[in-house]
């Protein structure tokens, strides 16, 4: 249809340079190698990621997200942190705070959610960390096919332990550094309609929770909520607002394998193909690279465990990378932004998709080797992976100042991005895709900024009965795009990303992922979920004084409307507001507030340069 749109006749060395801008491509080239060396790199130092909580000697604490910076760039303060390792310690931590009327929040070992969910109200709240919370780790019961796990356990250990028992949870997120409690609190998901759909909370049978209680009850108590209880539907996606989840019991299946084939095709009929494709494969998902007019369809299905194959998703984004390399890549990205020229990114987009399919799109048939599709492997290996968070003994082969780590390591001023993830009802995806294509017609180069992080990732989720879950079967569109370290700096084709974001949220009434996104995406979210009212009545019962809530989470639940009132200079650059005056953008650097091209109701910051 328009495959020559982004060809600008660059030399091959320029192309090679452009490839370094692209997180996915560069990582993919190294991915297989890194995976192979992952378990025998005793001679390199792999750091563990730092805790999200830091306390000064005087005992004041700060909590941040995994990138080190909250959406609003403000610090989050708290008075203290505790690290319970038994349920009794958990009960006494909650009881002490309730007795004092102190606000509190659960934080986790790494703390991945970008949105300000784990920031307690005020600046003298209590942080209850689940870092050490795994008193009995994992229990598998094969007679009722369930598995109980302590909420602090990292997914990496959980899925591996299940595999040792020959059982598995059909869907889990891509990244294994998250905690079990964190995953279900935000309704995290995999992709596809296999079994009950890909929202992990929908595989929970029961939850043990520590919640506030009266003085007579000792200020805190332990509840068990089960499938069938009204409160359970609130607790299975709770945003941490009801109390502390101590133990989670999941329904499990006998271990199975997945078989994956990735196909690269034109996006000509994407609008018609997307919804049927979602239901044709158990774990269907895709990457859309609009600048190259290409789609990578991931045809992924469950197969019998006896089928041969020991494939692994060596997902490049979570493989360790040298700190020095991460900084170099970021410097390339900064340079592209400064040049205000996307043509290198446009060029690199086509190379990237071809390279991805040719090299297995991050998958390997056996450790370190890609021999061709299909890739067949155990369910958990094909779905949930990591590596960059691992702690390895230190040694010096990379030099004293360098170390292996994750690309987002907050100790580096490395890779830094916005992450918009919004679930659009499957019934509307055709119209949405058509709108994005119309936007591309008007502004072809604008789509190229998506190439920096690999294109638009699309995954599928089923409707849920969780009160804060999705009402209908949906496609989650994820856009990852450059974020400046300087909050006053506009971005390359910022207007295009903003128009897509506002279309998703306001025109297509998409529901944002609770743990990702910028404030704009959460506008009106209370009306988009199964039942905010029912959630609120369970919350009033379990935490009547709102000790686990903050102004931010009240806002999410529609209790007040500060998002709409955000009015600071530059507020639209970080998605704190949608602009309606130029000062919300960055007029001094040429960004003013304008209408969307396709969605005229959109208000976006557009550069005149």
Ligand X SMILES: *[C@@H]1O[C@H](CO)[C@@H](O)[C@H](O)[C@H]1NC(C)=O
Q: Which residues bind ligand X (CB under 6 A)?
A: 141, 143-144, 165-166
Rounded to 5°, angle at Cα 490 from 486 and 491: 105
Q: Is 201 in the site for ligand FAD (CB under 6 A)?
A: no
Alpha helices in 370-425 (DSSP H): 379-383
Out of ligand FAD, ligand X, none, what residue 454 binds, judged by CB under 5 to 8 A for its kind, is none
Please, which residue, 165 or 227, has the CB nearer to ligand X? 165
What's the closest the beta carbon of residue 347 comes to ligand X, in angstroms?
49
Residues 249, 205: Cα–Cα separation, whole Å: 5
- For 41-97, give the secondary structure using H, E and C: CCCCCECCCCCCEEECCCCCEEECCCCCCCCCCCCEEECEEECCCCHHHHHHHHHHH
Which member of 98, 104, 121, 183 binds ligand FAD (CB under 6 A)? 183
**CB of residue 515 to ligand FAD, shortest distance in Å:** 3
Q: Would you say 602 and 502 are in contact if contact means Cβ atoms under 8 Å apart?
A: yes
Shortest Cβ 145–ligand X spacing (Å)? 9
Task: Answer with the entry of ligand FAD, ligand X, none that 144 interacts with (C-beta below 5 to 8 A by kind).
Answer: ligand X
Token pair for 71: 């959406």
Residue 380's binding partner, choosing from ligand X, ligand FAD, none, with beta-carbon cut-off 5 to 8 A by kind?
A: none
| Residue 558 burial (C-beta neighbours within 10 Å; 0-12, 13-18, 19+) | middle
Nearest to ligand X of 3, 166 (CB atom): 166
Nearer to ligand FAD, 515 or 596 (CB): 515
Binders of ligand FAD among residues 272 to 331 (CB under 6 A) are 318
In 238-371, DSSP assigns E strands to 244-251, 253-254, 257-266, 285-289, 294-303, 312-313, 321-322, 363-364
Nearest-approach distance from CB 404 to ligand FAD, in angstroms: 16
Across the strands, what pairs with 55? Answer: 61
Range 368-387, binding ligand FAD (CB under 6 A) = none
By CB under 6 A, which span of 236-244, 252-260, 327-335, 555-563 interacts with ligand FAD?
236-244
Nearest-5° angle of CA 136, CA 139, CA 143?
160
Q: Which two tokens stand for residue 186?
A: 């935000």
If one asks whether residue 189 binds ligand FAD (CB under 6 A), the answer comes out as yes
> Given the rule CB under 6 A, which of 42-50, 92-100, 102-110, 362-370 is the region that contacts ligand FAD?
102-110
For the bound state, the minimum distance from the C-beta of residue 243 to ligand X, rounded and expressed in Å, comes to: 23
In the list ligand X, ligand FAD, none, the entry touching 151 (Cβ below 5 to 8 angstroms by class) is ligand FAD
Contact of residue 552 among ligand FAD, ligand X, none (CB under 5-8 Å per partner type): none
Count of positions on this chain that bind ligand FAD (CB under 6 A): 32
- When CB distances are held under 5 to 8 angstroms depending on the partner's kind, the choice from ligand X, ligand FAD, none that residue 166 binds is ligand X
Choose the contact partner of 407 out of ligand X, ligand FAD, none; CB within 5 to 8 A by kind: none
Of 470 and 498, which CB lies nearer to ligand FAD in the complex structure?
470
Please, what is the minimum distance in Å from the beta carbon of residue 184 to ligand X? 21
Could you write out the DSSP letters of every residue in 429-452?
HHHHHHHHHHHHHH-GGGGGGGGG
Is residue 547 within the footprint of ligand FAD (CB under 6 A)?
no
- At residue 362, the 3 state secondary structure works out as coil
Cβ of residue 303: shortest distance to ligand X, in angstroms?
Answer: 16
* Helix, strand or coil, per DSSP, at residue 169: coil
Among 28, 95, 185, 348, binds ligand FAD (CB under 6 A): 185
Task: Decide: 383 and 362 in contact? Cβ < 8 Å.
Answer: no
Least Cβ distance, residue 80 to ligand X (angstroms): 36
- Of 182, 349, 490, 512, the residue at the interface with ligand FAD (CB under 6 A) is 182
Distance CA 523, CA 535 (A): 18
Q: Decide: helix, strand or coil at residue 256.
A: coil
Given the structure tokens 């889990």, which residue do they identify?
Answer: 172
Identify the residue among 93, 95, 237, 244 touching ligand FAD (CB under 6 A). 244
Applying CB under 6 A, the span of 27-35, 104-112, 358-366, 558-566 interacting with ligand FAD comes to 104-112
Question: d(Cα 551, Cα 560) in Å, to the nearest integer?
Answer: 8
Query: Which two tokens mark 232?
Result: 């359970």
Tell the smallest beta-carbon distance from residue 221 to ligand X (Å): 22
CB of 165 to ligand X, least distance (A): 5
DSSP string, 461-528: E---SSTTSBSS-EEEEEEEEE--SSTT---TTHHHHHHHHHIIIIIS-PEEPTTS--GGGGTTGGGT
Please report whether residue 240 would count as binding ligand FAD according to CB under 6 A: yes
Q: Which of 110, 207, 572, 577 binds ligand FAD (CB under 6 A)?
A: 110
Candidates 178, 390, 426, 542: give the one binding ligand FAD (CB under 6 A). Answer: 178
Cα 478 versus chain centre, distance: 9
Shortest distance in whole angstroms from residue 389 CB to ligand FAD? 10
CA dist., res. 233 & res. 214, Å (int): 24
CB nearer to ligand FAD: pick between 66 and 232: 66
Q: CB 172 → ligand FAD: shortest distance, Å?
A: 8
Pull the structure tokens for residue 66. 């995994």
Torsion of CA 22, 25, 27, 33, to 10 degrees: -160
Q: Rule CB under 6 A: choose which of 32, 120, 125, 173 binds ligand FAD.
A: 173
The tokens describing 190, both together, are 């995999």
Quote the least distance from Cβ 178 to ligand FAD, whole Å.
Answer: 4
390 contributes a contact to ligand FAD by CB under 6 A: no
By the 10 Å C-beta count (0-12 exposed, 13-18 middle, 19+ buried), 60 is classed as middle
Question: Which does residue 141 bind out of ligand FAD, ligand X, none, counting CB within 5 to 8 angstroms by kind?
Answer: ligand X
According to the binding rule CB under 6 A, does residue 454 interact with ligand FAD?
no
Is residue 151 part of the contact set for ligand FAD (CB under 6 A)? yes
Using alpha carbons, select from 592, 274, 568 the residue that is nearest to residue 428: 274
Binding-site ranges for ligand FAD (CB under 6 A): 66, 105-108, 110-113, 117-118, 130, 151, 173-175, 178-179, 181-183, 185-186, 188-189, 239-240, 244-245, 318, 513, 515
């Amino acid at each position: 249809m328009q495959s020559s749109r982004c060809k600008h006749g660059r030399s091959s060395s320029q192309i090679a340079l452009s490839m370094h801008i692209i997180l996915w491509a560069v990582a993919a080239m190294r991915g297989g190698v890194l995976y192979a060396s992952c378990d025998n790199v005793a001679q390199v130092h792999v750091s563990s990621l730092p805790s999200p909580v830091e306390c000064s000697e005087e005992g004041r604490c700060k909590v941040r997200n995994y990138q080190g910076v909250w959406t609003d760039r403000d610090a989050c303060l708290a008075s203290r942190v505790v690290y319970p390792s038994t349920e009794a310690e958990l009960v006494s931590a909650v009881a002490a705070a309730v007795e004092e009327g102190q606000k509190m929040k659960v934080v986790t070992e790494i703390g991945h959610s970008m949105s300000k969910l784990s920031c307690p109200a005020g600046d003298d709240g209590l942080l209850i960390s689940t870092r050490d919370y795994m008193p009995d780790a994992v229990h598998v019961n094969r007679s009722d096919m369930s598995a109980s796990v302590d909420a602090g356990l990292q997914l990496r250990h959980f899925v591996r332990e299940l595999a040792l028992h020959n059982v598995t949870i059909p869907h889990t997120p891509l990244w294994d550094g998250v905690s079990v409690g964190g995953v279900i609190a935000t309704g995290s998901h995999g992709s596809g309609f296999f079994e009950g759909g890909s929202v992990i909370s929908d595989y929970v049978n029961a939850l043990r929770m520590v919640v506030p209680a009266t003085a007579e009850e000792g200020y805190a108590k332990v509840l068990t909520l089960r499938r069938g209880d009204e409160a359970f539907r609130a607790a299975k996606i709770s945003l941490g607002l009801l109390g502390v989840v101590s133990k989670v019991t999941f329904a499990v299946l006998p271990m199975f394998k997945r078989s994956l084939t990735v196909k690269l095709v034109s996006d000509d009929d994407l609008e018609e193909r997307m919804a049927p494709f979602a239901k044709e494969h158990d774990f269907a998902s895709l990457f859309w690279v609009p600048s190259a007019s290409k789609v990578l369809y991931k045809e992924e299905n469950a197969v019998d465990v006896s089928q041969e194959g020991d494939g692994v998703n060596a997902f490049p984004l979570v493989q360790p990378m040298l700190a020095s390399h991460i900084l170099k890549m970021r410097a390339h990205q900064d340079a592209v932004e400064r040049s205000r020229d996307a043509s290198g990114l446009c060029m690199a987009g086509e190379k990237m998709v071809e390279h991805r399919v040719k090299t297995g799109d991050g998958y390997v048939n056996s450790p370190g080797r890609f021999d061709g599709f299909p890739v067949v492997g155990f369910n958990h290996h094909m779905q949930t992976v990591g590596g960059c968070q691992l702690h390895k003994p230190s040694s010096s082969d990379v030099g004293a100042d360098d170390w292996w780590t994750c690309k987002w390591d907050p100790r580096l001023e490395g890779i830094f991005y916005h992450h918009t993830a919004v679930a659009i009802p499957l019934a509307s995806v055709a119209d949405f895709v058509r709108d994005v294509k119309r936007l591309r017609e008007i502004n072809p180069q604008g789509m190229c900024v998506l190439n920096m992080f690999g294109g638009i990732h699309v995954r599928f989720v089923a409707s849920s009965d969780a009160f804060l879950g999705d009402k209908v079967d949906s496609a989650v569109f994820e856009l990852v795009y450059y974020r400046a370290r300087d909050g006053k700096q506009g971005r390359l084709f910022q207007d295009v990303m903003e128009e897509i974001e506002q279309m998703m949220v306001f025109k297509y009434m998409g529901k944002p992922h609770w743990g990702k996104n910028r404030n704009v995406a959460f506008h009106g979210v209370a009306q988009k979920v199964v039942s905010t009212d029912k959630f609120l009545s369970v919350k009033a019962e379990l935490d009547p004084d709102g000790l686990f809530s903050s102004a931010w989470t009240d806002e999410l639940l529609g209790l007040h409307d500060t998002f709409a009132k955000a009015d600071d200079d530059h507020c639209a650059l970080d998605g704190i507001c949608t602009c309606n005056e130029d000062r919300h953008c960055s007029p001094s650097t040429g960004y003013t507030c304008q209408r969307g091209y396709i969605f005229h109701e959109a208000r976006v910051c557009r550069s005149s340069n």
